[in-house]
Structure 1
């Protein structure tokens, strides 16, 4: 089904695509994947740029009216294709639980929602739309998926832009990845308390009271100290220090404090964000709750705020995750297949340009630079001007410069 309509500054075309649940095994049935094409209103036939968003487990960005930021810049050169990756947004939802399924069946079902399946979905869609080749813009997890695309089907790609998403590609153990993220998040905590030195005592008081009192969020969940520590997710955002400070300065237990504390830990809206998160770093092998196993003691009982780290207890503290509890445990022990072909990437012929953010809390800089060296023809822009959300903060400049780099103009 295809629907087209206009908004100020753009023409939008919405499509629903039918793809196999398991590529190569038609007996497993099909699911629907939704795309929204955004084109400039001048009617010119521009090539496609596919946007792969962060995650895993989040739908595509929704266009504003008129388009702004990175999308406004992209529309000068492209038609932008926004993909609700399988299981998200208007694509067939995963849901909290598969009716009648055992935990093992649900876990097996969820194994088909990683980057390799997303790439194969896009190859089906590319053929359906008649695009000989198209370009990619991958943010964060979307950058990881772009590297998988370059590993599996580079013949479908004209050029690739990656922002904050150069994953390790050499089968680096997942524990090394999470050990590095804990170092980065500790540094971010230190920078935060240097900016707001009065907040450390305030934070310690709040954490103590949450251990002693039964404080309930607007949705009925208990606000535990370990849940509040996940507000450290904001430390990787350019405006995150201020968002965290504005949460901590509110009167403890007030309606505003509780509403903002609930918003600070956004794992429930898209449950596969938590359930499949560690699998996005598993380039072969099982994760076995790596982030939790490697967490320093002060991130468990002290005042160290975490970031994109998942823990087994989340499926107890978050009501919206509980239906995935048993499946998540099985997936933590699942021997995940490889996502990247390092040999093929070393022979890559597709032009690639990528940002590497010096103080990225989510993607380790040293591993990103190692990946940049391992992908033939990749040009890296290493910068301390932005946090992980640089594409959202200054997208016009970032996309413009990456296009200049990938096309040899810079």
Structure 2
């Protein structure tokens, strides 16, 4: 059964600060939430600070709420400097007040970092994660998956006085939205997914096998379009193998970390971005600076690297699924690129991520509880719409459609017009289409 719409009362008073920007009425909200929602509550229990920014159009301050769940995991919500930033915001503001939630561990919520202050009492004897043992680090990070994010969101919803809200999930935000429908669907007025319907059950290997096949095809398409780029990539591999490839700060880049430049190919304009990078002199300051910016995993957002596979886990252990399912053809040819495929080596080769390596090993071996409940998904009565990108580099179409079949009345839009970043790249287009589906104004 789905949980009732009412959530437990927030453990602290919501602190709200209004301000404005051109074309926007903004309120910053801060709420203290339990570090571990499954532990005994109380004022002495460790708490995190949860930050959310409410955006409204002038005159739209009383519109219903739309909760935006950012992709990742491990990234804060977008920052806005006006009603068209991000590009889909203007469409959302015509119908809603938008809640940009900094998911726990990100942005202005209590951050995850080696030297960030831990909540009081979170880890006995440690004030930061750097002072903690790898086992303590892993146990702490295990509290930053979608189940905890949804529990946080429920406390925030109640604190805001909203009986229900509409939820929009991009990529990992869609994974979190599916968790929402599994445990608290009565709190959801409507749910919208963009590139984010995860596979159900402990089947992460199937997901990664499909994404590897997709990246092989994307790599070959890029080399066919820009034939000279393949030789440039081979030259970079030679530099990486000899220890002569580095970013602008001098950090070495090994072959597995370099391979992850392929993640650029999963978004619109990605081929052009990769080509522009590869045509630079690899010893030039421009290349070395741009290389650092183009690599997908970094110390800025450690959750993205260290918990990436764990956030797929609907039960079972991940055991470095991307590494285990890498095809032999990819192992043998470093010009066959990777996307969001995390390997041990990709962490060990990055000086900013290497301190997390032992915790990452423990998380890869961890037996995770299930995130999703197929029976509850079938019972959820709120309208559900999903943009399923036909050739999604990160969330395979085949598995997305299978998951959608567990929902009561999924309104699916299967499109090859956009890549995984369609919500941003389309301007107002993808969101407008999804809103038409949930209201019944548009079919398919």
Shorter chain as normaliser: what TM range? over 0.9
* 1:202 CA drift (Å): 2.0
**Stretch deviating more after TM superposition (113-122 or 187-196):** 187-196
Structure 1 pair 210/24, CA: closer, same or farther in 2 (3 Å)?
closer
Write the distance in 1 (CA, Å) between the matches of 2:427 and 2:34: 34
* 1:320 CA drift (Å): 1.3
Write the distance in 1 (CA, Å) between the matches of 2:427 and 2:174: 15
What is the TM-score normalised by the length of structure 2? Answer: 0.90
How many aligned residue pairs are there? 409
Matched with 2:110 is 92
Matched with 2:28 is 14
Write the distance in 1 (CA, Å) between the matches of 2:196 and 2:373: 16
* 1:225 CA drift (Å): 2.4
* 1:301 CA drift (Å): 4.6
Tell me, yes or no, if structure 1 residue 199 matches structure 2 residue 229: yes
Write the distance in 1 (CA, Å) between the matches of 2:29 and 2:53: 6
* 1:174 CA drift (Å): 1.2
Tell me, yes or no, if structure 1 residue 275 matches structure 2 residue 289: no
Segments of structure 1 that go 5 or more residues without pairing to the other structure are none
Matched with 1:34 is 51
Runs of 4+ in 1 over 4 A off after TM superposition: none
Q: Comparing both structures, which one devotes a greater share of its residues to helix?
A: 1
* 1:213 CA drift (Å): 4.3
Matched with 1:285 is 316
Contact 2:260 2:296 in 1 (8 A): no
Matched with 2:70 is 53
Write the distance in 1 (CA, Å) between the matches of 2:20 and 2:213: 47
Matches within 5 A, 1:230-249: 230-249=260-279
Matched with 1:139 is 170
Matched with 2:89 is 71
Segments of structure 2 that go 5 or more residues without pairing to the other structure are 1-14, 115-127
Matched with 2:289 is 259
* 1:209 CA drift (Å): 2.7
Contact 1:348 1:377 in 2 (8 A): no
Matched with 2:381 is 349
Task: Provide the aligned C-alpha RMSD in A.
Answer: 1.3
Tell me which of 309, 316, 328 is aligned to 2:348: 316
Tell me which of 137, 140, 143 is aligned to 1:106: 137
Matched with 2:205 is 175
* 1:216 CA drift (Å): 2.6
Tell me which of 327, 339, 344 is aligned to 2:371: 339
Contact 1:10 1:67 in 2 (8 A): no
* Partner SS, residue 393 of structure 2: coil
